[in-house]
Amino acid sequence: MADDYVRRTAITHLSVDGEQRDLLEDTITEWKRGCQIATDLAWGHCNTKSDVQPLAYDSVREDTDLGSQHAILATHQAAQAITGCIERRSKGKKVSKPTFTAPTVKYDTRTMTVFDDGTVSLSTTESRVRCPLDLPDADDGYQRQYLDSDEWSVTESTLTTRDGEFFLHIGFRRHKNDTERNTAEDGTVLGVDLGIENLAVTSTAYFFSGQELTHDLREFEKVRAGLQQTGTRSAHRTLVQSSGRELRYVRDVLHRASNTLIDEALRYDCDVIAFENLTHIRDRTGASWGHTWAFRTLYEYVEYKAESVGISVKQVGSAYTSKRCAECGFTADENRPSRNDFRCVKCGSEANADYNAAKNIGMRYLRRGQQSSRRTGDSQLALKSGTVKPKRGFTAYPDGFEAEFTDKPHLQSAEGA
């Protein structure tokens, strides 16, 4: 069962030569065609893998250069896309038949083999290619904790290309242990809000600035646009080098941010780090594609680092977390007079808007737990000056605690509407 596994993804750059590049690009092109053929045949008729595969497999094999296993995977991808449309339609959203334009292709253990020497073998439309994984040094490459472990096994993965470079999103999984299957869900929670001006803000009032990340993303976007417009071979080489530098800069920022969040959780003895749901974060924040990718990557970094220190990472619904007062619970558009400020029109509480949202995210996780039969309702939210429980109110940290007392005791009213 899928629920019996812990899953992780390790994003790794591939080193490819000219012939390998051509074969992989052809495979991506044929993959998109195969997914579209299967979708066109199944749309309006069926959506399960067991139905789409027998319906579309022969057509995918005849009309594309995909091998047999990739043809099967293409029918499964079509089934997944159609199912997603059906789910969105059930929620009253308008949907149209899926189209496949993303430069990606799926791999499984039959079409991909990862070797101990740091190379990977990938099926293409012709022969297999064997490419080196461009891994960071062991000291700072998070991929190695999965690649070098007997505990983690490779599962379905995705190859993608961007600006002429290839990246393999290698999927890993391992069985949950008994502790993970029966984790007590009571404990101390750290709420985290993600954003553009402040990349991450915690319920303990730690602010990790997003200015460095925003500057890097904007500068690299300008460089890419100029080089792509030039279109020369020299410009392409420069573009490839620029993309590599971009990834290193951005990942360095995200690693530092994730380390900070883990340190903050450990400092306040937290058992859970709660983020807002990332599904529609681009729509909510107006973030660029680059920022959206950064938010998801930061979450993944925190998730795998938290696991090593025994902290769980969860996502909760994000509705109204930016407009709800963390002190009295009153929710209104008027509570946000500006992008950065929160001022409750009911109780008069004032706070940084991201900090207010971080506390709301943490409290939402606590309230959700009150409806769970596995939890006793004894969880608490970590604040800078103490902890708060939905029904029992605020408790200040004892004298001598290193954090300054900045939160007000009347935060106990956060149990309100």
Among 175, 200, 219, give the residue marking a domain's end: 175
Q: Which one, of 323, 315, 326, lies nearest residue 415 by Cα?
A: 326
Same domain for 169 and 265: no
Same domain for 242 and 96: no
Q: Is residue 401 part of a domain?
A: no
**Are 206 and 264 within 8 A, CB to CB?**
yes
**Are 375 and 186 within 8 A, CB to CB?**
yes
Q: How many residues does the chain have?
A: 417
pLDDT tens-digit map of 90-110: 877 777 888 888 888 999 999
State the Cα–Cα distance between residues 44 and 391, nearest whole angstrom: 49
Report the chain's mean pLDDT, rounded to a whole number.
79
User: Which range, of 106-115, 148-157, 304-313, 325-334, averages the lowest pLDDT?
Assistant: 304-313
pLDDT tens-digit map of 245-304: 666 777 788 888 998 898 888 888 788 999 988 876 666 666 666 677 788 888 988 887
- Report the first-to-last Cα separation within the chain, whole angstroms: 38
Among 175, 202, 226, give the residue marking a domain's end: 175
Same domain for 169 and 115: yes
Q: Is 366 helix (H, G, I), strand (E, B) or coil?
A: helix
pLDDT tens-digit map of 352-366: 888 988 999 998 898
**Lookup result for tokens 């992008």:** 339
Specify which of 130-144, 219-233, 263-277 reaches the highest per-range mean pLDDT: 263-277
User: What amino acid is encoded at 221 in this protein?
Assistant: E
User: Which range, of 122-131, 311-320, 401-410, averages the lowest pLDDT?
Assistant: 401-410
State the residue range of the domain holding 50: 5-175
Tokens of 298: 């930061």
Specify which of 158-162, 305-309, 374-378 reaches the highest per-range mean pLDDT: 158-162
Query: What pTM value is reported for the model?
Result: 0.52
In this model, does residue 372 exceed pLDDT 90?
no
